[in-house]
Amino acid sequence: MKTKAKKEFDAVQFMRDRRNLISEKLSKMTKAEIVEYFKRKRLENGIKPCAQSRWLRQR
């Protein structure tokens, strides 16, 4: 049987770590703080304006 090579980057573990980090941050915030947090993140994330407007139209 062949052994698996060790991954340099584990995408699933990365996603779980990020989800846990965000969950921990949000659990200590009020609803208003959460809304403000995501508004601020949306502006900071650097989505191209054309892609962002397309995303907003879908909602």
- pLDDT tens, residue by residue, 15-57: 999 999 999 999 999 999 999 988 888 778 766 556 555 556 6
Q: Which domain holds residue 46?
A: 11-58
Does residue 27 lie in a domain region? Answer: yes
Does residue 5 lie in a domain region? Answer: no
DSSP result, the chain: -PPPPPPS--HHHHHHHHHHHHHHHHHTS-HHHHHHHHHHHHHHS---HHHHHHHHHH-
Q: Are 26 and 34 in contact (CB under 8 A)?
A: yes
User: Model's pTM, two decimal places?
Assistant: 0.54
Burial 21-56 (b: 16+ CB within 10 A, else e): eeeeeeeeeeeeeeeeeeeeeeeeeeeeeeeeeeee
Does residue 37 lie in a domain region? Answer: yes
Q: What's the number of domains the chain is made of? A: 1
pLDDT tier for residue 5 given thresholds of 50, 70 and 90 = confident
Mean pLDDT of 5-20: 89
Does residue 1 lie in a domain region? Answer: no
Give the pLDDT score at 29: 94
Does residue 3 lie in a domain region? Answer: no
